[in-house]
Amino acid sequence: MKYTEEHEWLRVEGDLVVVGITDYAAQQLGDVVFVELPEVEAQVAKGDEVCVIESVKAASDILAPVDGEIVEVNEALVDNPGLVNEDATGEAWFFKMKIDDAGVLDAFMDEDEYKDFIT
């Protein structure tokens, strides 16, 4: 997995990149009560706001980590936003993207670098 400074994780699955938030981010948010997902087939650019997460503490945006197309969203989060707190780096992924250049992922942190970043 790769990690962003915005506390998102990215996992490559074939020609897709799966995006979610880290356990650290989920803990900082507190109990997640609402998730708004992007539209499938949306073209997004790095830094675009693509999701909204609301918790008992705050609202937060999920940004597109790279340029690409949203090809799938995790509808389970709409019915059960608390899944983000239960399994942030597993079942609680937000969306899958098709990207043109997987090489851009090399610019993100690996797990050890991310752990150093949050401590």
Rounded Cα–Cα distance for residues 26 and 55 (Å): 9
Q: What average pLDDT does the structure give for the chain?
A: 95
- Could you count the other beta carbons within 10 Å of the beta carbon of residue 20? 27
Rounded Cα–Cα distance for residues 1 and 47 (Å): 19
For residue 17, what pLDDT is reported? Answer: 96
For residue 101, what pLDDT is reported? Answer: 86
CATH of domain 2-101: 2.40.50.100
Look at the pTM and tell me if it is higher than 0.85: yes
- Residue 23 neighbours by CB under 8 Å, 6+ apart: 88, 89
Q: Which residues of the chain have pLDDT under 50?
A: none
For residue 102, what pLDDT is reported? Answer: 85
